[in-house]
Structure 1
């Protein structure tokens, strides 16, 4: 993000500008990425601009944007670019959002069709200002994509709907996304400083409730490491996810967006990530992605295909003659 953009964000959101600076340690070689320059990157960027769409790839400063956009993959962020929460790890602007754009679901669907996506990831900011947290807008977007691109599989990454009636979740599940993702982000002991507006067990229950509403729907969740957590706490989060029926786990290295954000406590080594991956497979997840550069939507389409194949294989092994 440019110095000008950082200045503008600080002007709009003084609560972040006044945080104490946290020194940003030098990144190790294993998480360095090249600046995006490909023609595919520029084409994807132009389609996003032409359809006036926001992407979490840019807003959150994802390190994989060059690789993903060069392949025509982008995670679309609906309901605006201003979040009502102030998580200390996140680079998305905090403040008062604008009203929902009723035409946005159609523009998302048009972009999905134009990009020819086989799999799309749709996420959003938190919208605590809305009575349903944006649940119906998610449902409308899913239906619009289904209409314009019926062969495209749809993955959603939702907020926690913390301040909403429990039944708002039903509208999203009823729209039948292929994957319902909601990230726990970190271990419960770090929630007060990392996710002060969220509640760990509420998020866990949200994922469990999706499975209760539709046992066939794939569920997914992820955490960051390097925030100050201990290994045993990460293992406990894995157990909590499996108890809630989560199918797909992602674990990636936290990267501090600016000196005003939560500090990187350490860079977790590739060998440690491999250890987390092996532990997660042992706990029965259908799909696991645990690398320094793993993000929720990184290689999401390929991973979805692997997860679906893993379920079919597991069902075949446990109940011969039955399909998932």
Structure 2
């Protein structure tokens, strides 16, 4: 695109050319010469203006090129000021304080109208992490260590046999974790909070598990290698043997009793006569009545044969 100076110079040059043509053709030379002088002066003025604009453009170009090189190549000898460094350090410290709260803050932003608890958010993350490990070796090691309460300091288990069964609550409740668990930045507080979250997951998993005979069989066949790996013969005898032996013995006695299916269809553990079957003396010979209610639930769920087969397999695997 032409500049104003270029347009002005071009117009004056064309005007002079036209005057020259008129001078050659016209008979009134004096008027034509006068016009030619005027056109020449105009051309000279336009030329001077165009030259001035061009010179100014070159100066601007050179000046901005130098400034641009200065920005790109000249180092900042002074560096950041002390005030800027202090502000950066404060930002770093503040970010470190918030480390680990990202999920909670994002949840707060996405659910501004909901009542959100930081502890409940962390609880859900712990449970989701355990769920994401299903059903690998790490998963089973974690679940079984929690169930039998393994102590990493003493290298011992604090729950065994029937004691381990109380890990599962009789009634599952998805409680909020808004209680006073202390500062979760403290290692001991967090370890306790994590264990409570994992116990909540185990309770939820057991209560929601599909206990059809087919699903129980698939779960056992796909995971029994992990179970046998976790339980050595010594560990099995210490932690599980009594419960497994009791369950098999009670099942064999009950199923050998006539009309056992009719009895369990009519009664359950809430009825007074429940522990009279097959006889009061027999049920009292066991320290715990749980094996009887266990088989009542298995008969109701139609998975007793599958569960009994798994228990017999386990018992035979650990026989001397």
TM-score normalised to structure 1 length:
0.21
- Whichever structure has more helix as a proportion of its residues is 2
- Whichever structure has more strand as a proportion of its residues is 1
Q: Which has the higher contact order (CA 8 A, sep 6+)?
A: 1
Q: Which has the larger radius of gyration?
A: 2
TM-score normalised to structure 2 length:
0.21
